[in-house]
Amino acid sequence: LETSASTDENFIQCLALHSGNDSISKLIYTSSNSSYSSILKSSIRNTRFSTPSTPKPQVIVTPLLVSQIQETLNCSQKHGLQVRVRSGGHDYEGLSYASPVPFVILDLINFRNISVDVENNFAWVQSGATLGELYYWIANKSRTLGFPAGVCPTIGVGGHFSGGGYGTLLRKYGLAADNVIDAHLIDVKGRFLDRKSMGEDLFWAIRGGGGASFGVIVEWKIQLVPVPSNVTVFTVNKNLEQNATKILHRWQYVADKFDTDLFIRVILSAVSSSQKGNRTVQASFNSLYLGGKDKLLPLMQKSFPELGLVSEDCTEMSWIQSILYFAGFPSGLSPDILLNRDPSITYFKAKSDYVKNPIPEVGLEGIWQRLLEKEAAAALLILSPYGGRMNEISESSIPFPHRAGNIYKIQHLVYWTEEGTAASEKYMSWIRRLYDYMAPYVSKSPREAYINYRDLDIGTNNISNTSYSQASIWGTKYFKNNFERLVQVKTVVDPANFFRNEQSIPPVSY
Ligand code: FDA
């Protein structure tokens, strides 16, 4: 039997032996290496999984070459180590860098080339690139091309695309995964596959089914989409004294039906009220319009006059400046800021819900009560409208099933800074209570959830003995009927279940 220390050594020797020279040694970090801790923390976003009790990897490998990824997979299998693939490290439950069993982090930080072809409107982007880097290089080549992916620039392409990925262009162009046209993947046997050689089933699975169950996706070919040279953004805040309840109630009837050039999300939070010492709830209507304000203002007057949008609320800018705007950067900053990969880190817990029928005002009032509790001082509900392109794509086109019939998606989020388990329990229990409260107002049977807002509360695998029936509990929430096809794909491509985690797709025999 190998001891843990000898496993690490044997694994490292295996890597050195198979890579044919010692260049790989500079790309391997164990706890005895002085950079181990900074490499480990480099992309961690959630402090909940960066505490002394968080299980740490035996080894971190940061490959430069495809062959080094292949050898990492080979040697991990030989020496009984699990592999966690990390691209941007933004997993909500830390699954890309923490595991209860001995494991290796395969960190794709060095796989971040981006090549943009503006003549043919596509790009190849490696998984370790961030969305910010991708947006930067697209805009660097063209003011009228963009890509429909997430809002936070430090998210990694690898996790994001393989889980779906959406942002302000969702109503016009769908998800990031809807716009992937080819990919390069290394499978459990170390084979380097493209769309043609992996086949349509596996190519289907990695666009929304979560990459971690199927292999290591090295890079993606994406279809770029047209954006106007000037877009318009606005943020209009309404609190309870300013009729927020009625305006939000109305938003639910129109937000998914607007012209597809218009995306208005709503961020709900508790804020100080103008009456001293009091708190109120604020609904922040935060919008991107693919056009100028000359068109936006009459459109709003027709479709959503209740918001009272006026010209002074609106700012025209390039698409790349709108990326900075939504990321919360001050206006006028250079897009160079998008090349900064350092994530801000905090404790947080999130959950997701889909809304198919407008929530009545009395239901919204119950949300206000919970947002005004003291545990919710740094809590947010982010309501993102669907409709448009999302209604046109079938539920089984890719594994992401949440299409026609959804008015909007809610992300429930709570942040905190106090250390320790008592604090964690306090905030986690607040968000769980909110989630229980929401049950009558959101999707049922299954209560749908978004895999990129990973939530282990909705069910987990038993990590050493993954069962199909256990996995189907959380699997049908993320994927509805697509869960079955994901299991079939997994059974073919990784029958021994090497690529596994707390929410990985099981092969059928398990
Ligand atoms: P990370 O590296 O942690 O990977 C996530 C999962 O994918 C892990 O299971 C990992 O093993 C696996 N994986 C990663 N790379 C892989 C690869 N190359 N091959 C195979 N498996 C791989 N989402 C959204 O749709 N829209 C949004 O606007 C936002 N906004 C947002 C803001 C913030 C602050 C956070 C923290 C997160 C979001 N998200 C989001 C959620 C985000 O899309 C989700 O967390 C992604 O999975 C993150 O991808 P990373 O590569 O960063 O994660």
Q: What is the pLDDT, as a whole number, of residue 419?
A: 93
Atom of ligand 1 at shortest range from CA of 155: 52
Contacts of 270 (CB under 8 A, 6+ apart): 279, 280, 281, 282, 371, 372, 376, 377, 379
Q: What is the pLDDT, as a whole number, of residue 21?
A: 59
Region 153-158: mean pLDDT is 97
The residue from 211, 226, 241 where one domain ends is 226
Answer whether 151 contacts ligand 1 (Cβ < 6 A): yes
Q: What is the pLDDT, as a whole number, of residue 510?
A: 55
pLDDT greater than 80 at residue 343: no
Q: Is residue 333 part of a domain?
A: no
- For residue 92, report the distance from its CA to the centre of ligand 1, in Å: 8
pLDDT in tens, 114-147: 999 999 999 999 999 999 999 999 999 999 999 9
Q: Which two tokens stand for residue 369?
A: 């009560």
| 312 & 407 share domain | yes
Q: Is residue 325 part of a domain?
A: no
| 378 & 434 share domain | yes
Answer whether 39 contacts ligand 1 (Cβ < 6 A): no
Task: Report the CATH number at residue 359.
Answer: 3.40.462.20
| 384 & 498 share domain | no
- Residues paired with residue 349 on neighbouring β-strands, in sequence order: 414
Atom of ligand 1 at shortest range from CA of 454: 45
ipTM above 0.85, yes or no: yes
**Residue for token digits 């109503």?**
171
| 236 & 300 share domain | yes
Per-residue confidence band for 458, with pLDDT thresholds at 50, 70 and 90: very high
Answer whether 254 contacts ligand 1 (Cβ < 6 A): no
| 428 & 293 share domain | yes
> Which of the 8 DSSP states describes residue 401?
-
Q: Are 88 and 133 in contact (CB under 8 A)?
A: no
pLDDT in tens, 350-394: 999 999 999 999 999 999 999 999 999 999 999 999 999 999 999
- Residues paired with residue 29 on neighbouring β-strands, in sequence order: 60
The residue from 109, 136, 161 where one domain ends is 109
- For residue 158, report the distance from its CA to the centre of ligand 1, in Å: 7
Region 309-325: mean pLDDT is 98
Q: In Å, what is the CA distance from 78 to each residue of 192, 293, 441, 499?
A: 19, 61, 49, 14
Just list the catalytic residues. Answer: 453
Q: What is the pLDDT, as a whole number, of residue 22?
A: 60
**Percent of the chain whose predicted confidence (pLDDT) is above 90:** 92
Average pLDDT, the chain: 96
Distance CA 60, CA 432 (A): 34
Q: Which of 162, 344, 384 is the pocket-test mutation for ligand 1 (most atoms within 8 Å of CB)?
A: 162
- Residues paired with residue 439 on neighbouring β-strands, in sequence order: none
Q: Are 414 and 376 in contact (CB under 8 A)?
A: yes
Answer whether 88 contacts ligand 1 (Cβ < 6 A): yes
**Domain tally, the chain:** 4
- Residues paired with residue 229 on neighbouring β-strands, in sequence order: none
pLDDT in tens, 460-470: 998 777 789 99
Q: What is the pLDDT, as a whole number, of residue 463?
A: 75
Q: Report how far Cα 465 is from the mean position of its chain's Cα atoms.
A: 27
> Nearest-5° angle of CA 437, CA 425, CA 347?
100
Atom of ligand 1 at shortest range from CA of 88: 52
| 190 & 96 share domain | no
Answer whether 188 contacts ligand 1 (Cβ < 6 A): no
Contacts of 193 (CB under 8 A, 6+ apart): 184, 185, 186, 187, 202, 215
Q: Is residue 341 part of a domain?
A: no
Q: Which two tokens stand for residue 366?
A: 């119950």
Q: Is residue 338 part of a domain?
A: no
Task: Report the CATH number at residue 133.
Answer: 3.30.465.10
pLDDT in tens, 408-418: 999 999 999 99
pTM for the predicted model, two decimal places: 0.97
385 φ/ψ angles, rounded to the nearest 5 degrees: -70, 145
How does strand 59-61 pair with strand 103-107?
Answer: parallel
| 392 & 312 share domain | yes
Per-residue confidence band for 207, with pLDDT thresholds at 50, 70 and 90: very high
Atom of ligand 1 at shortest range from CA of 175: 25
Q: In Å, what is the CA distance from 370 to each residue of 179, 251, 379, 431, 435?
A: 38, 21, 10, 9, 11
Closest by CA to 283, choosing from 383, 373, 372, is 383
Domain that holds residue 61: 4-109
Region 105-120: mean pLDDT is 98
Atom of ligand 1 at shortest range from CA of 91: 3
Q: Which two tokens stand for residue 73?
A: 């997979």
Answer whether 183 contacts ligand 1 (Cβ < 6 A): no
Distance CA 489, CA 201 (A): 6
Answer whether 89 contacts ligand 1 (Cβ < 6 A): yes
| 263 & 215 share domain | no
| 170 & 129 share domain | yes
Task: Report the CATH number at residue 29.
Answer: 3.30.43.10
| 270 & 206 share domain | no
Q: Is residue 337 part of a domain?
A: no
pLDDT greater than 70 at residue 148: yes
| 300 & 208 share domain | no
Q: Which of 91, 173, 351 is the pocket-test mutation for ligand 1 (most atoms within 8 Å of CB)?
A: 91
Q: What is the pLDDT, as a whole number, of residue 240?
A: 96
Q: Is residue 332 part of a domain?
A: no
Answer whether 184 contacts ligand 1 (Cβ < 6 A): no
Under DSSP, is residue 149 helix (H, G, I), strand (E, B) or coil?
Answer: coil
Q: Which two tokens stand for residue 47?
A: 């402090």
Q: Which of 50, 90, 103, 502 is the pocket-test mutation for ligand 1 (most atoms within 8 Å of CB)?
A: 90
Q: Is residue 13 part of a domain?
A: yes
Distance CA 461, CA 463 (A): 5
Q: Which two tokens stand for residue 222?
A: 């994406």
Looking at ligand 1, which residue's alpha carbon is closest to its atom 4?
159
Q: Is residue 360 part of a domain?
A: yes
| 413 & 478 share domain | no
Closest by CA to 28, choosing from 20, 17, 39, is 39
- For residue 91, report the distance from its CA to the centre of ligand 1, in Å: 5
pLDDT in tens, 244-285: 999 999 999 999 999 999 999 999 999 998 777 789 999 999
The residue from 92, 109, 126 where one domain ends is 109
